[in-house]
Amino acid sequence: MLTIAVSKGRIYEEALPLLAEAGIVPIDDPKTCRKLILATTREDVQLVIIRATDVPTFVEYGAADLGIAGKDVLLEHGAESLYEPLDLNIACCRLMTAAHKGAPEHQGRIRVATKYVKIAQSYFASKGIQAEIIKLYGSMELAPLVGLADCIVDLVDTGNTLKANDLEPRELIMNISSRLVVNKAAMKMKHEAISALLIQFEKTLANR
Ligand code: AMP
């Protein structure tokens, strides 16, 4: 049995067609079914649909053999203990700084609200900017509006969320897409099954 951990939401939706090409179609719809482990049309593959930030943990500990997670989450987690053999090119977006529209560039030490504490720390350090990083778990856009932070570090896709909150994108930190990650022990123990799946995903991606 192969267990694949997939990030809930946007990544899961975009991974579905890719999984389907490999014959992996969940039998139940996680939106309507409360099961945490989803059987699929492939008897040897099951899915666990979990919070994005938990995917690297499940794969690292071997609770899942493979995982699908955003590069943002993998970098923040520190995924050196995982193999990352494939860029799936799904759920593409940008990790950016953003600030109140028209706000002047902050001088001196800045306050940054984000859930990406490690990434933000190393980004501002690499630019020689002193930053106090404030960890938030959601609604980052609120922070500059209420004076909690000078800017935020968050994912931007269409830019609509920023615009709706009177914020504007400032600097691109990196382009983000979802990656396939593999548990190192599983890569050895289940080599045949995992490499067959990798080849199938590679083929599908090449035809896109
Ligand atoms: P948008 O309004 O299209 O720029 O989307 C921004 C909002 O969606 C922010 O709250 C982001 O955290 C979230 N978001 C954008 N792209 C992704 C992605 N690929 N994966 C997860 N969340 C995303």
For the chain, give every domain's residue range. Answer: 2-91+177-206, 93-175
Write out pLDDT tens, residues 3-35.
Answer: 999 999 999 999 999 999 999 999 999 889 999
% of the chain exceeding 70 in pLDDT: 100
Asked if domains 2-91+177-206 and 93-175 share a fold, the reply is yes
Query: What spacing in Å lies between the alpha carbon of 155 and ligand 1's midpoint?
Result: 5
| One-letter-per-residue 3-state SS of the chain | CEEEEEECCHHHHHHHHHHHHCCCCECCCCCCCCCCEEEECCCCEEEEEECHHHHHHHHHCCCCCEEEEEHHHHHHHCCCCEEEEEECCCCCEEEEEEEECCCCCCCCCEEEEECCHHHHHHHHHHCCCCEEEEECCCCCCHHHHCCCCCEEEEEECCCHHHHHCCEEEEEEEEEECEEEEEEHHHHHHCHHHHHHHHHHHHHHHHCC
Pocket of ligand 1 contains residue 161 by CB under 6 Å: yes
CATH topology of domain 93-175: D-Maltodextrin-Binding Protein; domain 2 (3.40.190)
Pocket of ligand 1 contains residue 169 by CB under 6 Å: no
Decide if pLDDT at 106 tops 80: no
Pocket of ligand 1 contains residue 157 by CB under 6 Å: yes
Whole-model pTM: value is 0.96
Query: What spacing in Å lies between the alpha carbon of 185 and ligand 1's midpoint?
Result: 33
Mean pLDDT, rounded, for 156-172: 98
Report the mean per-residue pLDDT for the chain. 97
Distance from C-alpha of 43 to C-alpha of 130, rounded to nearest angstrom: 53
What lies within 8 Å, CB to CB, of 89 at 6+ separation is 177, 178, 205, 208
Instruction: Write the class of the CATH domain 2-91+177-206.
Output: alpha beta
Q: Which of 89, 161, 178 to mutate to test the pocket of ligand 1 (most atoms within 8 A of CB)?
A: 161
Pocket of ligand 1 contains residue 137 by CB under 6 Å: no
